[in-house]
A and B are shown apart, each in its own frame.
Chain A
């Protein structure tokens, strides 16, 4: 594995399987009386969050703490960033504190990549603008594998599994990372979205594209709903929320068109009633709560594999 996790494209099929299998072993930790391992004792993980986040930050914090790492949380509000400090200066400050890993969430695409050039520790991208969110893709792949393959999941990839990703692909780092990772793992990915919410170069992505959701449902094993990111929308991408919801929202009628084994995913936070109806979100076929639990295990696997080994990874890689 590379020293940083910036993009889902950094992961080879072997790397991705190693992370998923490691997460599979770590999942049993949740059932044990002591949910902690001594593996990263004495290591420092800095959570550097320039953008609001609840589940990702808490998830990384829980993951690092369960591996006994020391965690420093940094959020832009109430810090020197509010006084105008640049990303580089903030990074150098953290570097001086001896961070072994920096988990970064930033509103600018490419922030994690820039940071990787400035710090000695490993950089984990926890979402940069509309670019990537690789650990979300890993936890989604882990959830898909567990749900669809159950006990036989270990060591297997997602070959032949059909995944439809629905909605605001344009503003979604989750969609990009998922397309890259899921296709690396052998899944067949289709994007279903209105033309205005698809990025310009989507034809270069390793996936199919459809403007219709209904025709994709019967042939999907997994339907992943994306949040409509109103905070990033600077123009009118669809006539009205109601029209969007009618054509691309997941409701009970649409769920009924999916095969019986198929699951509905959502990376959260949800806009109930917009891209997903409450009755779907709370149904047994929805994996939304599972995704949160799996997030901790998957991030533990990532932190262990990046930090758990030798302190000089470049010598051995």
Chain B
């Protein structure tokens, strides 16, 4: 990352958000969630594996800092509900971990790193229906890169990132990738 916080071109492509900017985006989203849900009442944060899960935990920690409320946090694996299973080899499942209070009657905020076609979110909505009946479902994403293929939109967006479909957006998070950054490049995930 550049010392000034400006995007830098590197081996892995162009950094569009650095650690500081990710931190600020999450802080803002946490405030927005509190605002929209009247102080986080009845909110459950569910991260979509892999990188949605640490993002959900970070949001929960921030909400706890700001308002002193403990927001239940969990993960929701959508693999078994995806619409593209038949086109790729079977893959390992992520974890689904619901907070003990469940999702019935709650306001569930789904958390993911990148919103692109919207298909993951559709799968998440189906997976959620099988787990219970939330009062409302909202969506928080760190990056919205456009190119939706389904009528789905995010309620909380860290950064809108206009991209071409040829490009690939990678969110790197310290919990998984040892650093925080959002990168954009022309081809596959950096090795």
Say how far A212's CB is from chain B's closest CB, in angstroms: 42
User: Which residue of chain A has its CB nearest to the CB of B87?
Assistant: A310
- The answer to whether A32 touches B130 (Cβ under 8 A) is yes
* Chain A neighbourhood of B131, CB < 8 A: 32-34
What's the Cα separation between A26 and B130 when bound, in Å? 14
User: Which residue of chain A has its CB nearest to the CB of B126?
Assistant: A38
Could you tell me which residues of chain A, from 270 to 317, have a CB within 8 Å of some CB in chain B? Answer: 304-311, 313, 316-317
- 29 cross-chain CB contacts under 8 A: A18-B92, A21-B93, A25-B94, A25-B95, A25-B96, A26-B93, A28-B96, A32-B130, A32-B131, A33-B130, A33-B131, A33-B132, A34-B130, A34-B131, A38-B80, A39-B80, A39-B81, A39-B85, A306-B90, A308-B80, A308-B90, A309-B85, A309-B91, A310-B86, A310-B88, A310-B89, A311-B86, A316-B88, A316-B89
A22 at the interface (CB under 8 A from B): yes
* Chain A neighbourhood of B95, CB < 8 A: 25
* Chain A neighbourhood of B94, CB < 8 A: 25
* Chain B neighbourhood of A34, CB < 8 A: 130-131
How many B residues face the partner with a CB closer than 8 A? 19
- The answer to whether A37 touches B89 (Cβ under 8 A) is no
User: Which residue of chain A has its CB nearest to the CB of B95?
Assistant: A25
* Chain A neighbourhood of B18, CB < 8 A: none
**Interface residues, chain B, with chain A CB atoms under 8 Å away:** 77, 80-81, 85-96, 126, 130-132
What's the Cα separation between A275 and B90 when bound, in Å? 40
* Chain A neighbourhood of B132, CB < 8 A: 33
User: Which residue of chain A has its CB nearest to the CB of B131?
Assistant: A32
User: Which residue of chain B has its CB nearest to the CB of A36?
Assistant: B130
- The answer to whether A308 touches B92 (Cβ under 8 A) is no
**Interchain Cβ contacts within 8 Å, total number:** 53
How many A residues face the partner with a CB closer than 8 A? 25
- The answer to whether B81 touches A37 (Cβ under 8 A) is yes
- The answer to whether A304 touches B80 (Cβ under 8 A) is yes
* Chain A neighbourhood of B88, CB < 8 A: 309-310, 316
* Chain B neighbourhood of A25, CB < 8 A: 77, 93-96
What's the Cα separation between A313 and B89 when bound, in Å? 7
What's the Cα separation between A26 and B132 when bound, in Å? 17
* Chain B neighbourhood of A38, CB < 8 A: 80-81, 126
Say how far A313's CB is from chain B's closest CB, in angstroms: 7
- The answer to whether B93 touches A22 (Cβ under 8 A) is yes
Instruction: Return the 5 tightest CB-CB contacts between A and B, nearest first.
Output: A309-B90, A25-B93, A309-B89, A308-B90, A34-B130
